[in-house]
Amino acid sequence: MKMRQLKERLARQNANVSERMVKYYIETGLIPPPDYTQVNQAEYSDIHYVRLLRIDAMKKAGMGFSGIRSQIETLDGFIRQMAEKKGITYEEAANLPEVISREYCEYMVKYRGEETNTKSELI
């Protein structure tokens, strides 16, 4: 999805994320870089959406940047283990449905207080 679509999708979840914030999170390593189909054509995936929802929720909960970074590093550790286990790159592992589902479920339970029961409820 393009940046505009990503921001619209986030806004439907009441996540306040600007394009500038997305670029900052990429620069600081909180979210992986998008795929570039052309020089100025970034393509964002579900992992970007889920991660941005989570970061927004952590900020709204009053967590500072270092706390957010620490939690994201823990999540990234899981993704790196998955990549190593499957013999794929971090980017490929980050976009695996089971990785996205896991991160989304954790977000729903921890920050929204909701349980997810089926795959159809995910994303």
**43 bridge partner residues:** 35
Pairwise CA distance, residues 36 & 87, whole Å: 23
* Rounded CA separation 116/109 (Å): 8
Query: 36-89, pLDDT tens digit by residue?
Result: 988 889 999 999 999 999 999 999 999 999 999 999 999 899 999 999 999 999
Residue 1, SS3?
A: coil
pLDDT band at residue 117 under the 50/70/90 scheme: low
Amino acid at 75: L
**H-helix or E-strand containing 102?**
helix 97-111
55: which 2 tokens? 């970061």
SS3 percent helix, strand, coil of the chain, rounded to 5, is 65, 5, 30
